[in-house]
Chain A
Amino acid sequence: MTVLDTDTASPAAEPQAGDIPLDDWRGVAAEKADEISAGGGLFLRARSRRLLGSLLRPHRRALAWASCLIIVVTGAEMAGPYLVSVGIDSGIPAIRRGDWAPVGAAVSGILVTALAGSLLRLRFLKLAGRIGQDVVYDLRGRVFRQFQRLPIAFHERYTSGRVISRLTNDLDALGELVNASLDGLINAILNVAVIGVVLAVLDPGLSLFLLICLPALFLLLRWYTRGSRVAYRRTRETIAALIVHFVETLNGIRAVHAFRREPRNDAIFHELSADYKRANADAMRLMAWLMPGIKAIGAVMTAAVLIFGGFQVMDHALEVGVLTAYLLYLRRFFDPLQDLAMFYNSYQSATAALEKLSGVLEEEAGVPEPRQPVQLPRPVRGELRFEAVRFAYPRREQQSADGAAHPEKIVLPELDLTIPAGQTVALVGATGAGKSTLARLMCRFYDPDAGVARLDGIDLRDLGDGDLRSAVVMVTQENFLFTGTVADNIRFGRPDATDAQVEQAARAIGAHQFIAALPDGYATDVKKRGGRLSAGQRQLVAFARAFLADPAVLVLDEATSSLDVPSERLVQRALRTILAERTALIIAHRLSTVEIADRVLVMEGGRVVEDGAPAQLLGAATGRFVDMHSAWVDSLA
Chain B
Amino acid sequence: MHADRPPPMVLSMPPTSPSGGSFASLWRLKTYVRPYRWQMLLMFAVALGGTLVGVAVPLLTKAVVDGPLRHGERGELWQLGLYALLFGLAEAVLILARRLTLATTALGIEKDLRDQLYAHLQRLDVGFHDSWQSGQLVARMTSDISAIRRFLGFALIFLVVNSVTFAVVGVLLIVIHPLLGGLVVVLSLPLSYVIFKYERVYRRQIRAVQDQQGEVATDVEESALGIRAVKAFGRAGFLTERYLAKSRELRGLQLTQIKTLAEIWALIIAQPQAVLALVVLGGGAAVADGTLTLGTLIAFISLYLLLIWPIESMGWLLAASQEANTAAERVFEVLDARPRIRGSSHGHAAGQARVTERTRPDAADGAGDAEPRLVFEHVDFSYPVALDRSSGTPILTDVNLRLAAGETVALVGPTGCGKTTLTALVPRLYDVTGGRVLLDGTDVREMSLTGLRARVACAFEDPTLFSASVRENLVLGRPEASAAQVEEALRIAQAQFVHDLPWGLDTRVGEQGLSLSGGQRQRLALARAVLGRPPVLVLDDPLSALDVHTEGLVEQALRAVLAETTGLVVAHRASTVLLADRVALLGPHPSGGHTVTALGTHHELLTAEPAYRDLLSQSSDLVEEGV
Contacts and interface: CB of A to CB of B under 8 A. Distances in A.
Contacts of B267: 118
If over half of A's interface residues share one DSSP class (helix, strand or loop), that class is named, otherwise mixed; here it is: helix
Contacts of A133: 251, 254-255, 258
Contact of A469 (B233, B462, B480, B618): B233
Interface in A85-115: 87-88, 91-92, 95-96, 103, 106-108, 110-111, 113-115
Given A26-B468, A248-B466, A168 B218 contact: no
A156 interface: yes
Contacts of B301: 84, 88
B177 to A, nearest CB: 15
A567 B461 CA distance: 17
A57 interface: no
Contacts of A96: 288
B551 A589 contact: yes
B511 A160 contact: yes
A359 interface: no
Interface in B226-254: 226-236, 238-240, 243-244, 247-248, 251, 254
Contacts of B393: 519
B179 interface: no
Interface stretch (A188-196, A201-209, A453-461, A591-599): A591-599
A465 interface: yes
A291 B548 contact: no
A628 interface: yes
A531 interface: yes
Given A91-B284, A168-B213, A534 B420 contact: yes
Size bracket of the B interface = 35 or more
Contact of B476 (A147, A259, A306): A259
Interface string A532-565: 1111110010100100010000000110011111
Contacts of A260: 449-450, 453-454, 477
Contact of B620 (A306, A565, A628): A565
B96 A292 contact: yes
Contacts of A106: 280
Interface in A497-520: 514, 518-520
Given A106-B280, A310-B77, A537-B416, A293 B92 contact: yes
Interface string B465-488: 011111110011101100000000
Interface stretch (A42-50, A61-69, A381-389, A474-482): A474-482
Given A125-B258, A558-B545, A274 B131 contact: no
Interface in A122-156: 122, 125-126, 129-130, 133-134, 136-137, 140-141, 144-145, 147-149, 152, 155-156
Contacts of A115: 270
A448 interface: no
Contact of B297 (A88, A108, A111, A298): A88
Interface residues of A, number: 205
Nearest to B117: A246
Contacts, number: 591
Contacts of A436: 517-518
Contacts of B29: none
Contact of A147 (B126, B224, B627): B224
B60 to A, nearest CB: 8
Interface in A590-614: 590-592, 594-596, 614
Contacts of A470: 234
Interface centre among A114, A157, A519, A592, by most chain B C-beta atoms within 10 angstroms, is: A114
B206 interface: no
Contact of B228 (A87, A113, A445): A445
A592 B261 contact: no
A566 B231 contact: no
A354 to B, nearest CB: 18
Given A260-B454, A536-B415, A311 B550 contact: no
A635 B573 contact: yes
Contacts of A20: 472, 475, 479
A468 B248 CA distance: 30
Contacts of A562: 415, 461, 541, 544, 572
Interface string A401-437: 0000010010000000000000000001111100010
B390 A518 contact: yes
B515 A564 contact: no
A52 interface: no
A631 B472 contact: no
Contacts of A370: none
Contact of A246 (B138, B614, B623): B138
Interface stretch (A9-17, A262-270, A372-380, A577-585): A262-270
B81 A492 contact: no
B321 to A, nearest CB: 16
B294 interface: yes
B406 interface: no
A488 interface: yes
Given A141-B244, A255-B476, A572-B622, A431 B546 contact: yes
B134 A250 contact: yes
26 contacts: A20-B472, A26-B508, A81-B305, A88-B297, A129-B254, A129-B262, A152-B231, A164-B220, A255-B476, A256-B122, A258-B458, A266-B122, A285-B103, A291-B95, A299-B89, A302-B85, A304-B81, A431-B518, A475-B232, A488-B1, A527-B387, A528-B132, A531-B130, A562-B461, A628-B549, A632-B548
Given A285-B103, A476-B229, 20 more contacts: A28-B502, A80-B273, A81-B305, A92-B288, A118-B270, A169-B142, A254-B464, A288-B96, A300-B88, A307-B81, A314-B69, A314-B77, A432-B517, A480-B225, A527-B131, A534-B416, A557-B518, A562-B415, A589-B551, A637-B578
4 shortest interchain CB distances as A-B pairs:
A299-B88, A469-B234, A431-B519, A27-B469
